Amino acid sequence: MAPRKKKEAPKTSKSKNTNAFIAGAGTIVDSPVTETLKTNFMPYAMSVIVSRAIPEIDGFKPSHRKLLYTMYNMGLLNSKTIKSANIVGRTMQLNPHGDAAIYETMVRLSEGHEALLHPFVASKGSFGKAYSRDMAYAASRYTEAKLAPISAELFSDIDKDTVDFVDNYDATMKEPVLFPVTFPTVLVNANMGIAAGMASSICPFNLREVCETTIAFMKDEDINVADTLLAPDFPVGGQLLYNRADMEKIYETGRGSFKVRGVYNYDKSQNCIDITQIPPSTTCEQIIEKVVELVKAKKITEINDIRDETDLDGLKITIDLKRGADPDKLMKKLIKMTPFEDSFSCNFNILIAGSPKVMGVKEIISEWVAFREECVRRRVYFKLSKAKDKLHLLKGLEKILLDIDKAIKIVRETDEEAQVVPNLMIGFGIDEIQAEYVAEIKLRHLNREYILKRTADIENLLKEIEEMESVLASKTKLKKVIIKELERVIEKYGKERCTAIINGALEEEIADEVVIDDSPVTLFFTKDGYFKKITPQSLRMSGEQKLKEGDEITQIIESDNSTELLFFTNKCQVYKTKTIEFGDSKASVLGDYVPSKLDFDSGENAVYMVQTKDYSGFMIFIFDNGRIAKVPLSSYQTKTNRKKLIKAYCEKYPLHTVLYFKEDSEILLKSTNGRMLIVNTAALPLKATKDNGGIAVMTQKKGQRLNNVQIYQKGELSADHRYRTRNLPAAGSKLPAGTDAEQTKLEI
C-alpha cells in the first residue's frame, strides 16, 4: 500500500480574535498501525494493568487501598459505624472514578457481602451476598460501615516510614503506595481482575495455613509448600476435590484449576434436599435456573419443586422430591449437570515493582517476605533515629542535673531571649538542640525529681538502640521479628477451614457410578407416531389408553429410563434419543408426537420403535417384494451423540415391516397369492451395511406382494412343517383345502 501524501492545510484568513495558527493544524500524517498502538493504546493498557486490575504484593488493588486508607484517616478503626455515603464521598479525594465504583469496592470488602475469608470492613445494613445475584446491596445512604479489627494489621506502623507515600491525583493529599501488612493478605483473600491483555485470579487460603507456611519458608526455603498449605479455602464453604499432584502444579506454576462442590443434606421427614453451601464461582440463581431447565427438558424427573429459601440464617436452596426418588442418585445427576460442582481457575498474576508477573505460591511468599523485611527495616531505622534523638536530648538534660541552679541563673541573668540558648550551650557544654530542649522546659519541671525521672530512661534507650542496631545488622534477627508478628496474627485471627477437603479421584468415581435414572416405565407407541412413557404406579391407576381417532397402539414395551430409543421412519432414516428425554405421561393423554418432538423432516413419520441399552440384537427389514435385510443393531451405534442417521435401510424397495430381535426367531410371511412361508432369521445373512437390499426370501410373481408379516410361535399352524423350506427363496405353501382360520389357530 502506497504511503499517503501529506495534504496542505487550506488557506484561510486569520481570525480577528486569533493571533496565529496552531502549528501543523489540519495536516494528515501517514503513521504505521504499530506506532499508533504504541503511542495511543499501550499507555492506556499499562494504566489498566498497573492502576486498576492487578493486585500488588500487599494484596490490594489501588481502589481497595484508597478506600481503606481514607477510612483509616477518618478514625474508623476504633469508632462506631458511620454512613457509607460519607465514606464514599471522602474517598473521592483519592479516587476520582465515581461514587458507584467506590461503593461497590466497599461492598466486596464488607462482612455482610461474605466474599472474603477475613473482611476488612465491618458493615451494618444490607450489603447483598456474593452467592446470590438477586440479593442486591442497599444504597450507600442506607448502610453504615467502619474498619474491621483485622484492618489494624494493614496500617501497623504506617506512620513510621515503613512505606512510600505519593501525591493523590490533584496533589492535595498524600496516599501510601502499599500497605505495610503484617501477614500475606495477597494469599488470604480472593482477588480477581481483568486488565488489557491479561487477567488475575487468586484463590483465597486459610489465614492460619498461610502464616504457618510463611514461617516454615522463612526457616527453610526448600520446604514443600503443599505440606502446610493444604488447599484453597473459600468463605462460602463447599467441598474441594483434592488432587495432590494438581495442587502442587498450581503451587509451582501459579496456574491451573480445581473443582469445588456444594454441600447438601436430605430431610427425610419433609422428603426434600437442602443445599447449604455452593461453589464460589456460581450463585443460587444459576443453580436453580439450570435445574429448572433440566426438569423442563425431562432430563431430571425426580423433582417436584425447587426454591430459594436463603434468609438471615444463611444460604439455602430447597428441592422437594417426588415420592420414591433417591436423593443421593439425584444429587449425583446435579453434580454432573449443574454448577453445584464447578471449577475454579487460578492465575496468580501480581504486580511486582510495577510489572505483572505470574508466580507460584512459594515465589509469592518469597516476594512478600522481601517486602515485609524492607517494611520492618524501615520501621526499625525510623524508631532508631527517634531513639537516638531522644537519647541525645536526655544526655543534655543529664548535664543540667549537675547544677540546676546554674541553669536557672543563666536564664534569669540573660538580657535577651535570643541569647538564652547560646548561654546554656556555653555554660554546660551542650549543643544547640540540647540547649533548645532545656530552654523549653517549664519552670515547674526544673527540679531534681523531674530530671532524674527523665534521665532514668537513658539506660533503657541504650539497650533499645543496641537491640535495634543488631536487628538492622542481622537478617536472622529481622526474620525473627517477622515470625513473631505472624505468630501473633495466627493467635489473634486464625480460624478453622470453611472449605472441606475430600478425595477428588474417589468422589469423581462415585459420581460416575449412577448418573441416569433407571426407574421402570412402560413405553407405548402408536401407528400415527404418538409416544407415551407411563410409570407402573400411574399405569395401575389408569383406565383405557386415550388415542387419536383411527389410531391404534402398535408397540408396548416394558423398559426403564436408562434406555436409548431409535425411531425408524418412512424415509429411510432413524432418529436416536433417550427414554429420559420424554416426560412421564398418563393414559388419559395422547402423549408426545414423535415427529414434532424429534424434529422430523417434512412429511416424515415414525414406523417402528426400538429400545436398547447395549445395541445388541439385530434389525429385520421386510420389503413388499419378499426380500429381507438383516442388519446388526450395533450398526446404528455412534461414538458421538448423533441424533439422526440417514440410509437407515434400503430405499430401493417398498418397505412392508420392520422388526427387532434380541435373538433368532421365526417369521411368518403371507403373500397376496394366498401362500405362506415360515422363515427362521438364522437363515438370513447378517450384513453390517445398513442400507443393503437383503436377499430374496419369498418369491412373488408379477402383481403379487406380501400382505402380512408377523412373528411365528410354534403350534400356531397345524402341520406347520408344510410352510418351512430348506432353500431360499421359496414360494411357500397354501392352506389345505377346507381348512379355516380357527383350525389353523392363526388368523392371517
8 Å CB contact between 579 and 559 = yes
- The answer, yes or no, to whether residue 7 has pLDDT greater than 50, is no
Q: How confident is the model at residue 505 (pLDDT cuts 50, 70, 90)?
A: low
- The answer, yes or no, to whether residue 248 has pLDDT greater than 80, is yes
Whether 103 is catalytic:
no
Indicate the burial class of 467 (C-beta count within 10 angstroms; 0-12, 13-18, 19 or more): middle
pLDDT value of position 439: 84
182 Cα distance to chain centroid? 30
8 Å CB contact between 384 and 465 = yes
8 Å CB contact between 316 and 309 = yes
Secondary structure letter of residue 579 according to DSSP: G
User: At 554, which helix (H) or strand (E)?
Assistant: strand 553-560
Rounded distance between C-alpha atoms, residue 726 and residue 347, angstroms: 74
In this structure, the chain runs to a length of 748
Q: Say what percent of the chain tops pLDDT 90.
A: 62
- The answer, yes or no, to whether residue 357 has pLDDT greater than 70, is yes
DSSP 192-207: EEE-SS-EEEE--B-H
Rounded distance between C-alpha atoms, residue 338 and residue 320, angstroms: 17
Dmax (CA) of the chain: 162
Rounded distance between C-alpha atoms, residue 94 and residue 100, angstroms: 15
- The answer, yes or no, to whether residue 496 has pLDDT greater than 50, is yes
Whole-prediction pTM: 0.71
Q: Which of 185, 571, 488 is nearest to 365 (CA)?
A: 185
pLDDT value of position 570: 93
Q: How confident is the model at residue 508 (pLDDT cuts 50, 70, 90)?
A: low
Rounded distance between C-alpha atoms, residue 137 and residue 50, angstroms: 29
Q: Is 23 helix (H, G, I), strand (E, B) or coil?
A: coil
Cross-strand bridge partners of residue 670: 676, 708
- The answer, yes or no, to whether residue 611 has pLDDT greater than 60, is yes
Q: Which of 58, 153, 62 is nearest to 368 (CA)?
A: 58
For 271-329, give the secondary structure using H, E and C. CEEEEEECCCCCCHHHHHHHHHHHHHCCCCCCEEEEEECCECCECCEEEEECCCCCHHH
Single-letter amino acid, residue 147: L
Rounded distance between C-alpha atoms, residue 532 and residue 128, angstroms: 46
Peptide bond preceding 729 in cis form (omega within 30 of 0): yes
pLDDT value of position 5: 46
What's the whole-number mean pLDDT along residues 682-701?
91
pLDDT value of position 514: 46
pLDDT value of position 113: 94
Q: Is the dihedral of CA 653, 659, 665, 669 positive or negative?
A: negative
- The answer, yes or no, to whether residue 183 has pLDDT greater than 90, is yes
Whole-angstrom CA distances from 137 to 61, 457, 513, 605, 691 are 22, 54, 42, 55, 64
Three cell numbers at 514? Answer: 449412577
What's the whole-number mean pLDDT along residues 171-198?
90
Q: How confident is the model at residue 610 (pLDDT cuts 50, 70, 90)?
A: very high
For 433-459, give the secondary structure using H, E and C. HHHHHHHCCCHHHCCHHHHHHHHCHHH
User: At 369, which helix (H) or strand (E)?
Assistant: helix 361-400
What's the whole-number mean pLDDT along residues 330-345?
92
pLDDT value of position 515: 52
Catalytic residue selected from 137, 142, 450, 530: 142
Rounded distance between C-alpha atoms, residue 745 and residue 318, angstroms: 60
- Helix axis angle for 361-400 and 432-439, nearest 10°, is 70
- The answer, yes or no, to whether residue 22 has pLDDT greater than 70, is no
- The answer, yes or no, to whether residue 155 has pLDDT greater than 90, is yes
Q: How confident is the model at residue 312 (pLDDT cuts 50, 70, 90)?
A: confident
Pairing assessment for the beta strands 500-503 and 303-308 based on DSSP bridges: unpaired
Secondary structure letter of residue 56 according to DSSP: B
Residue pointed to by grid coordinates 473443582: 259
Rounded distance between C-alpha atoms, residue 624 and residue 705, angstroms: 5
Single-letter amino acid, residue 638: T
pLDDT value of position 408: 83
pLDDT value of position 406: 86
- The answer, yes or no, to whether residue 43 has pLDDT greater than 80, is no
Q: Which of 71, 155, 145 is nearest to 111 (CA)?
A: 145
pLDDT value of position 194: 81
Backbone Cα Rg of the chain: 43
Rounded distance between C-alpha atoms, residue 44 and residue 169, angstroms: 17
pLDDT in tens, 56-72: 999 999 999 999 999 99
- The answer, yes or no, to whether residue 609 has pLDDT greater than 50, is yes
Q: Which residue has the higher pLDDT, 44 or 377?
A: 377
- The answer, yes or no, to whether residue 581 has pLDDT greater than 60, is yes
Q: Is 123 helix (H, G, I), strand (E, B) or coil?
A: strand
Rounded distance between C-alpha atoms, residue 295 and residue 330, angstroms: 12
- The answer, yes or no, to whether residue 204 has pLDDT greater than 80, is yes
Rounded distance between C-alpha atoms, residue 435 and residue 426, angstroms: 10
Three cell numbers at 622? Answer: 421386510
Cross-strand bridge partners of residue 695: 628
What's the whole-number mean pLDDT along residues 111-125?
95
Q: How many helices, marked H, and strands, marked E, lie in the chain? A: 21, 33
Phi/psi at 564 (nearest 5 deg)? -105, 150
Cross-strand bridge partners of residue 265: 274
Q: How confident is the model at residue 24 (pLDDT cuts 50, 70, 90)?
A: low
pLDDT in tens, 698-713: 999 888 999 999 999 8
pLDDT in tens, 537-577: 888 888 889 999 999 999 999 998 889 999 999 999 999 99
Q: Which domains does the chain have, with CATH numbers?
A: 60-180 (3.90.199.10), 263-339 (3.30.1360.40), 372-493 (1.10.268.10), 520-744 (2.120.10.90)
